[in-house]
Amino acid sequence: MIRYLLITASAIAFAGATLPVAAADLSRAPAMPMAYPTYNWTGVYLGLNGGGGWGSQDPLNIITDRFDRFNVRISGGMFGGTAGAQVQVSHVVLGFESDLDWTDISGSGTVAPSRLGVLLGSTLNMSTKIDWVGTARARVGYAQDNWLFYATGGLALADAKTNLTAVTGPVCSTIGEPLCSASSRKVGAALGVGVEYGLTPNLSAKLEYMYIAAASVEIAKIDTIRAGLNYRFGGN
């Protein structure tokens, strides 16, 4: 009988010790998965960009509009800086960006100038170049976490120059002939598309295509592809 009472008492004591632990385990809420913040594109940023451009330019129209149009193929590299600001609302990113690139986009050729289809009796060797290009543009994009797909458009400003040497006929800079050299700054438009990826909360890399047409008479038409890095003050 005494042995039976001891076994019963031990069982009751063990149950009393384990029931509070089990109750505590049941009352403990399951751990929630950690919530990671989505990427934030809002902020002011500075950056560097580089790439190349190709297209055509009318060397004579840089000097004067008295001659018929004549286009020379141009191509070369470009490198510069970028500054901008943007705000993200849900998946939509709205912003403004400007850049200034030093360029070596150039070409050369030989032309017999004409006016209203009539040859003027001279032949000229020419070299033409765009020294720098600047743009000021709006950007509208769609953000999916670290990815940003955008379109951009605005104003462009280009500095172009031409050098001429006479091969046959009257020498340039004489009466009725164009000057031997000149430069001109022309205003135009820039349109493009691009993609940007956030490497860190503040650093992003981009790749973009842009078409630039400078001057109302379309003195220069350039297609450009540039890659760049932007550092944003803001973000997560």
Model pLDDT, residue 139: 98
Structure token digits, residue 144 = 């999916």
Instruction: Note the pLDDT of residue 189.
Output: 93
Radius of gyration of the chain (CA): 34
Q: 132 pLDDT exceeds 70? A: yes
Instruction: Find the mean pLDDT for residues 106-123.
Output: 76
* Residue 82 C-alpha from the chain's centroid: 8
Q: Could you give the count of Cα atoms lying within 13 Å of 128 in the half-sphere of its Cβ?
A: 30
Structure tokens at 60: 């004579």
> Could you tell me what percent of the chain has a pLDDT over 90?
49
Q: For residue 137, is pLDDT > 80?
A: yes
Domain that holds residue 51: 37-234
Total domains present in the chain: 1
Q: Over 90: is that where the pLDDT of 82 sits? A: yes
Q: pLDDT-based confidence at 1, cuts 50/70/90?
A: very low
pLDDT at 7: 45
For residue 70, being part of any structural domain is answered with yes
Q: What share of the chain is helix, strand, coil (3-state, %, to 5)?
A: 15, 60, 25
In a domain, 62, yes or no: yes
In a domain, 31, yes or no: no
Residue 104 contacts residue 132 (beta carbons within 8 Å): no
CATH number at 106 reads 2.40.160.20
Pairing of strands 43-57, 72-89: antiparallel
On whether residue 11 sits in a domain, the answer given is: no
- Report pTM: 0.75
pLDDT score, position 131: 92
Count of helices and strands (H, E) across the chain:
2, 10
Residue 117 lies in a domain: yes
Angle at 87 between CA 46 and CA 97, to 5 degrees: 40
Confirm whether 1 is domain-assigned: no
Eight-state DSSP code of residue 85? E
Task: Tell whether 2 is covered by a domain.
Answer: no
pLDDT reported for residue 3: 44
Q: Are 35 and 82 in contact (CB under 8 A)?
A: no
User: Residue 45: pLDDT above 60?
Assistant: yes
